[in-house]
Structure 1
Amino acid sequence: MVLRVPETPEHAREAVRAVLATPRRRTAPPPDSAFAGPSGSPDAEADDADPDVPGPTAVCPHRMFEIDLADLAAGRGVEAARPVGWRWLIHERGRTVGAVEVAEPVGGPPLARFTEGPFTTGTDAAVATVRSLPHVERGYYELRLLHIPGLYTVALWLADLAGWQDLLVPLAPAPPGVQPLRPYPAAELAHTLVARGAHVLTTTQA
């Protein structure tokens, strides 16, 4: 499988380096985390990790996107997703221990933060899942992260650059009716979430 990553902007890489240079407390990685990635610069790919290199390293850069509930409820799907920044996974000794997210507000400076939790460490399992799919192995995709804030839903997004079919892999915890780590055609998952998104909108506007 070829995973394409657009060229990362220098200001985002600088923000990642600044976060990594700041001392912080990190939780221990889960024992079953097996996602392999390299140590090195914030533009490193995710295939050649050296687990013996100490210290945190930024790997596997990918763009972050968001979908508004209104767009989801209207059935516009991933086509309505807008880019909101970048994310790097942070490895220590070959394991994901967190991520650095670099948000890019319109008209403002980039905002970088270190994050932890299931949506971060769960990225490993999602990448391993899609790598095991025969048709994905033969494809050409851009790795992205999709966030639906109103539904507390995050998914790994494989944007099919050949124009066939995008895939979404929900990360745990997933909303009711959605199976974590199952690769969904993007249109299918969006359709599954339409009713829930419309319900949330109706509740919040009541």
Structure 2
Amino acid sequence: MPLHVPPAPPAALRTVLAALGTPAAVRDPRTPSLRGAQGPLNPELPLPVHVLERITADGTPVVRLAGWRFLIRSGDHAVAAAETLETAEGWAFSHFFEGPYVTSTERALRQAEEAGQPYQPRLLSVPGLYMLTLWLHADPEADAATGLPDALDLLIPLAPAPPGIASHLPHRVEELLPLLTRRVGPAGPPPVLRPAA
């Protein structure tokens, strides 16, 4: 089933288009892959980036929207990504980047397309573990800027994943979040993870 990619705030998209159209106006230079790309560069697949700030004592994740990420496509694949963030004045372009998370995000999105049920794709960052996951929210019509990971949601760790966590292996939130809690919090024996059915 197709993913229900949420629409990004129009102002966030405009900042990315402006950064692509006027490279001299951007503080950070374009990445090598953007400089070497042939043909037009198109921002696609906007994904809200949520940050896992902590997990409460009762196991509730506390997340916040940190920005929107756009994959920058040249031809038939993404060559880079663009990050935007919300400021007091509205949405602002943050930076371009490339690397393994770009190709890993594309791969995880293809996996999600084959999942057999509709999901709303988001990204969930776990800063304490230097980890990024594709968060497949089970309510495809939800407001992409709000909400918490739900028991019906899937998380697909992107590569590179922390040691002991397999990238591109989908897990139910209820399976992966306890492991992340133990990793970020006090040391303890790691639980055995089973892939989501």
Matched, 1:110 2:91: yes
- Structure 2 contact 138–153 (Cα < 8 Å) conserved: yes
Matched, 1:17 2:1: no
Matched, 1:85 2:67: yes
- Structure 2 contact 2–113 (Cα < 8 Å) conserved: no
Work out the number of aligned pairs and report it.
168
Distance 1:91 1:196 in 2: 35
The percent of aligned pairs where both chains have the same amino acid is: 35
Question: What displacement does 1:108 show?
Answer: 4.3
Q: Which residue does the alignment assign to 1:64?
A: 49
Q: Which residue does the alignment assign to 2:119?
A: 141
Question: What displacement does 1:171 show?
Answer: 0.5
Aligned pair in 2 of structure 1 residues 178, 72: CA closer, same or farther (>3 Å)?
A: farther
Q: Which residue does the alignment assign to 1:159?
A: 137
| Matched letter for residue 98 of structure 2 | E
Question: What displacement does 1:6 show?
Answer: 3.0
Q: Which residue does the alignment assign to 1:44?
A: none
> Normalized against structure 2, the TM-score is what?
0.76
Q: Work out which of the residue numbers 171, 174, 180 in structure 1 matches 2:158.
A: 171
Aligned pair in 2 of structure 1 residues 18, 99: CA closer, same or farther (>3 Å)?
A: same
Q: Secondary structure at the match of 1:120?
A: helix
Query: Cα deviations across residues 108-137 of structure 1 (Å, max 9, x unaligned)?
Result: 4433211111112211111122223xxx22
- Bigger mean CA offset, 18-27 vs 167-176: 18-27
Q: Which residue does the alignment assign to 1:123?
A: 105
Runs of 4+ in 1 over 4 A off after TM superposition: none
| Higher fraction of strand | 2
Question: What displacement does 1:168 show?
Answer: 0.5
| Matched letter for residue 158 of structure 2 | L
- Structure 2 contact 55–181 (Cα < 8 Å) conserved: no
Q: Higher relative CO (CA 8 A, sep ≥ 6), structure 1 or 2?
A: 1
Matched, 1:97 2:79: yes
Q: Which residue does the alignment assign to 1:36?
A: none
> Normalized against structure 1, the TM-score is what?
0.73
- Structure 1 contact 60–88 (Cα < 8 Å) conserved: yes
Matched, 1:26 2:32: yes
Aligned pair in 2 of structure 1 residues 125, 6: CA closer, same or farther (>3 Å)?
A: closer
**Which consecutive residues of structure 2, in runs of 5 or more, have no partner in the other structure?**
24-29, 141-149, 188-197
RMSD: 2.3
Distance 2:57 2:39 in 1: 46
| Matched letter for residue 147 of structure 1 | S
**Which consecutive residues of structure 1, in runs of 5 or more, have no partner in the other structure?**
29-52, 201-206
